[in-house]
Amino acid sequence: MTGHTRPAQTEHRPPTEATVKQLYATAFRCGKPECPRPLYRMNNETGETILNSRIAHIHARRQGGPRWNPQMTEADNRSAGNLLPLCIEDAAEVDETPAHYPADLLREWKREQLREYDTIQRAWPITDDQAAEAAEQSFGPQQEAAATAAAAAVAQVARCASRLVETSRQQRRAAADAAAGWQAMRARWAQSLGPFFDPGTGDRLTSDEAQVEPPRRDTEECESALRATLRTAKEAIEPVATDLVAELGAVRVVARALGLRCDQVEQDARSLVSAATQWDLSDPGDGVWHQAVARLEAAVQALGAVWHEEDARSQPPQPTVPQSEATACPPAA
Ligand SMILES: [Zn+2]
């Protein structure tokens, strides 16, 4: 090795206000194709223009940030070519879920935004004060901290929810074994008495059809074994559900638009806890629990997707919680 290798920079200075003015002088609306939001909006009463956008970095300004490119020079990083004015929601979104927004895609958006300016010749020739405001809002520490916190909270909810599903799945195996033991005992008992025939037709009947049940004293041991597994399940699952609810609270604080989706996740998590702490002998496929898992997973996905798809204002789907038909074993006390 000869000469000095300059250590790679891990953070670049923010863009200059001159660059900010240049960006707004060559763009009219959000750089996401099909997003109609203008970069500034008008207050109809006062005629004031109000900042309606943020400037996103195609490659982040800091190591570890979205689409960080260690090869990029500082001059390139803070140049207009690496910067894309977007509406506030889309600016947050491209940084929260950068995997959905690779640099090549954002560069294509950038080209499209400039093409549109060439065509319509509409843009926002802003003042120095407005440029300073846009820079502060786009690159200031508070803005970045809020975006990071929201992303972290949504990711944490997803992790907690999958831990809840996994914990309940593990506990379900023990309950299934106990229930199978109960069923096997019934089958053995029926076999020792059978076969059974319909008194009218003489047709052979199964033990279920013949409605033979072992005497109570024989079922008690099996039933108490099943109850014990459900109590253990409850002890294992409830703390995980509590963690999930706490993380949902964190999302509600940093991303209020996601409140309805958070409510849905919470409701489905509670349904899963309820399903996982009961056992219905007449539901041999454990369908109620499987449905509860599927609903929770869909709700968590919807929470992530809404962050991504930006339709947080739409109503969440109405829950279709089936009435639990658990008859054999009520919730563990
Ligand atoms: Zn937009």
Q: How many angstroms does the Cα of residue 86 sit away from the middle of ligand 1?
A: 5
Q: What proportion of the chain, given as a percentage, has pLDDT over 90?
A: 54
What the block records as the tokens of 82 is 């690496």
Kindly list the distances between the CA atom of residue 105 and the CA atoms of 15, 67, 110, 248, in Å, as whole numbers in the listed order.
21, 11, 9, 31
Distance 18 CA to ligand 1 centre (A): 23
CA of 24 to the centre of ligand 1 (A): 15
Give the phi and the psi of residue 83 in degrees, each rounded to 5.
-125, 140
Ligand 1 midpoint to CA 199 (Å): 74
Q: Separation of 34 CA from ligand 1 center, angstroms?
A: 8
**Confidence label for 310 from pLDDT (cuts 50, 70 and 90):** very low
Closest by CA to 88, choosing from 46, 48, 161, 143, is 143
Cα–Cα distance for residue pair 268/261, rounded to 1 Å:
11
The CA distance from 303 to 65, in Å, is 22
Residue 309 has pLDDT above 70, yes or no: no
CA of 93 to the centre of ligand 1 (A): 9
Angle at 38 between CA 34 and CA 44, to 5 degrees: 135
State residue 195 phi and psi, 5-degree precision: -75, 165
Residue with tokens 């200031």: 140
Residue 10 Cα to ligand 1 middle (Å): 29
Distance between Cα 99 and ligand 1 center (Å): 18
User: How confident is the model over 97-138, as pLDDT tens digits?
Assistant: 777 899 999 999 999 999 999 999 999 999 999 999 999 999
Confidence check: pLDDT of 323 > 50: no
Distance 95 CA to ligand 1 centre (A): 13
Count of CB atoms within 10 A of residue 52's CB?
Answer: 17
Q: How far is the CA of 53 from the centre of ligand 1 (A)?
A: 8
How many A from CA of 94 to the centre of ligand 1? 10
pLDDT at 316: 42
Q: Which residues surround ligand 1, an ion (CB under 5 A)?
A: 30, 32, 35, 37, 87, 90
Ligand 1 geometric centre to CA of 118 (Å):
19
CA–CA distance, 318 with 321 (Å, rounded to integer): 9
Q: What is the pLDDT of residue 7?
A: 61
State the distance from the centre of ligand 1 to the C-alpha of 249, rounded, in angstroms: 27
Res 258: pLDDT: 77
Q: With bands split at pLDDT 50, 70 and 90, how would you rate the model's confidence at 45?
A: confident
Q: How far is the CA of 32 from the centre of ligand 1 (A)?
A: 5
Contact between 259 and 307 under an 8 Å Cβ cutoff? The reply is: no
Most confident segment among 114-118, 247-251, 307-311: 114-118
Reading the block at residue 50, the tokens are 């109000």
CB count in 10 Å sphere of residue 291: 16
pLDDT tier for residue 330 given thresholds of 50, 70 and 90: very low
pLDDT digit string, tens, across residues 269-307: 999 999 999 998 888 789 999 999 999 999 999 888 755
What is the arithmetic mean of pLDDT over 210-224?
81
Indicate whether this model's pTM tops 0.85: no
